[in-house]
């Protein structure tokens, strides 16, 4: 009898020694962190940490607040066997309560061979639903020195909660250095620097209209302007974020050309010198300016048709002169010429523009009258001067006679 009891005890001990031993080898979930109100997937990896093969293996979860199983999901899964030192992976789909606050919550996992023998808590990070206001666009991105322009900024709520009492504002228009020197910003808002938006639902958009101005002496470069966005969520929690608007201050050169002096006046069969005056009427600098007069169809001949001018600053000018010859068969009138101007702007972009000017060709009589008018003015001035000299001489003679008496 005693021998039988001993054999039974040894059998029990040996059975326990060779039983499978399971543990949670790893777990994961996605997305991480989990967003309140959203579904997530949970994976758990169970390992047979023994030298004995296991038969039917069970794994189950006990979801508690804020987690629940997705409809149709079972809380227990099983596999027929898990060999020694091998693993088995189980997958569960769960929901998260929409009102969950941010924090870490535990999900209990149970497992064992043929029955639940062990359990383990697994930490799940949850992020509360919150609005997320992002700057997604601007109607403008350029200013000229001294220019003021309205900018329309577009915002989008990429979060999961409604944003309320949204205030969009450009931050301070000056900075103070470590030595106490106040540095004014070159691009500043005019009028109100803030805009109020009542609310923005998840996925909703809003706009803020603000006027920005560049100082007249603002250097030509790119500027980054900070925009502060303040808002509240549906629970009244306050949030603040900062976005940035990029503004380029640039000045564009604008080239114009006119016909200057023509000496002598152009007549059929005549020749002389004609001047073309170039002007930079823009606010930017034009570099590597060159001029080309395209071959006219009217027969007017030009000695030179191309010239390199160089650099023309804003409000600067230069001239190009060349000899001309008018065909004798050309009737009096105004004849067009096309002047092609090429230059590079402040960003080194090559710009080519064609400008049309007119060359007046006069009849011989009109040219004579114009020249005669000038000669008449000169002769008239000389005559007036002689009369004045005569009057002065007469006055001196009369004065000397009176003094002798």
Clarify whether residues 275 and 243 are in a common domain. Answer: no
Clarify whether residues 142 and 110 are in a common domain. Answer: no
Asked if residue 2 belongs to a domain, the reply is no
Clarify whether residues 267 and 224 are in a common domain. Answer: no
Asked if residue 289 belongs to a domain, the reply is yes
Structural domain count, the chain: 3
Clarify whether residues 333 and 308 are in a common domain. Answer: yes
Asked if residue 13 belongs to a domain, the reply is no
Pairing of strands 142-143, 133-138: unpaired
Cα gap 293→208, rounded to integer Å:
49
Clarify whether residues 222 and 304 are in a common domain. Answer: no
Cα gap 243→161, rounded to integer Å:
20
Token pair, residue 287, equals 């570099």
Clarify whether residues 343 and 299 are in a common domain. Answer: yes
Asked if residue 343 belongs to a domain, the reply is yes
Whole-number pLDDT of residue 171: 80
Cα gap 149→18, rounded to integer Å:
82
3-state secondary structure at position 183: strand
Contact (CB, 8 A) for 249 and 224: no
**405 exposed, middle or buried (CB, 10 Å; 0-12, 13-18, 19+)?**
exposed
State which residues form the domain around 58: 21-127
- Please list, residue by residue across 211-233, b when 16 or more beta carbons sit within 10 angstroms of its beta carbon and e when fewer do: ebbbeeebebeebebebbbbbbb
Whole-number pLDDT of residue 107: 96
Pairing of strands 67-69, 87-96: antiparallel
Cβ neighbours of residue 269 under 8 Å, at least 6 residues apart?
326, 327, 328
pLDDT along the chain (405 residues), means of 10: 50 53 93 93 94 93 95 93 93 94 94 92 92 94 92 93 93 69 83 90 94 90 92 91 92 92 94 94 91 88 94 92 94 93 90 94 83 50 61 62 56
CA 335 from centre of chain: 46
Asked if residue 79 belongs to a domain, the reply is yes
Whole-number pLDDT of residue 129: 87
Residue 260 maps to which CATH number? 2.60.40.10
Nearest to 362 by CA among 257, 233, 268: 268
Clarify whether residues 113 and 142 are in a common domain. Answer: no
3-state secondary structure at position 36: coil
pTM for the model: 0.56
Clarify whether residues 98 and 162 are in a common domain. Answer: no
Q: Taking the CB of residue 97, how many other CB atoms lie within 10 A of it?
A: 14
């Amino acid at each position: 009898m005693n021998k039988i009891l001993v054999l039974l005890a040894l059998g029990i001990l040996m059975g326990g020694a060779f039983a499978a031993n399971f543990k949670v080898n790893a777990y994961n979930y996605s997305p991480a962190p989990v967003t309140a109100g959203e579904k997530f997937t949970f994976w758990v990896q169970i390992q047979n940490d023994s030298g004995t093969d296991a038969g039917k293996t069970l794994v189950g979860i006990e979801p508690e607040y804020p987690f629940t199983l997705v409809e149709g999901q079972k809380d227990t899964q099983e596999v027929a066997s898990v060999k020694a030192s091998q693993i088995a992976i189980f997958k569960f789909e769960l929901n998260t309560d929409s009102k969950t606050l941010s924090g870490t919550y535990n999900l209990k996992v149970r497992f064992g061979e043929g029955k639940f023998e062990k359990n383990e808590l697994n930490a799940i990070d949850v992020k509360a639903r919150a609005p997320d206001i992002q700057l997604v666009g601007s109607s403008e991105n350029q200013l000229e020195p001294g220019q003021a322009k309205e900018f329309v900024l577009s915002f989008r709520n990429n979060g999961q909660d409604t944003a309320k009492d949204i205030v969009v504002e450009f931050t301070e228009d000056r900075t103070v250095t470590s030595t106490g020197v106040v540095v004014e910003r070159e691009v500043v808002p005019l009028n109100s620097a803030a805009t109020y938006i009542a609310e923005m639902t998840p996925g909703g958009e809003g706009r803020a209209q603000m006027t920005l101005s560049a100082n007249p002496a603002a250097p030509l470069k790119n500027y980054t302007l900070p925009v502060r966005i303040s808002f509240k969520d549906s629970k009244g929690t306050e949030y603040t974020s900062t976005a940035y608007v990029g503004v380029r201050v640039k000045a564009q050169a604008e080239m114009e050309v006119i016909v200057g002096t023509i000496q002598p006046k152009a007549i059929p069969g005549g020749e002389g010198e004609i001047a073309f005056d170039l002007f930079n009427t823009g606010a930017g600098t034009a570099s590597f300016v060159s001029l080309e007069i395209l071959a006219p169809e009217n027969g007017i001949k030009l000695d030179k048709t191309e010239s390199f001018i160089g650099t023309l600053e804003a409000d600067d000018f230069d001239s190009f002169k060349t000899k001309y010859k008018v065909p004798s068969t050309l009737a009096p009138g105004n004849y067009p010429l096309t002047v092609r101007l090429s230059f590079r702007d402040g960003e080194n972009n090559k710009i080519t523009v064609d400008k049309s000017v007119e060359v007046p060709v006069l009849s011989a009589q009109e040219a004579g009258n114009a020249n005669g008018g000038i000669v008449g003015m000169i002769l008239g001035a000389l005559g007036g001067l002689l009369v004045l000299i005569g009057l002065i001489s007469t006055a001196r003679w009369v004065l000397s006679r009176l003094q002798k008496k």
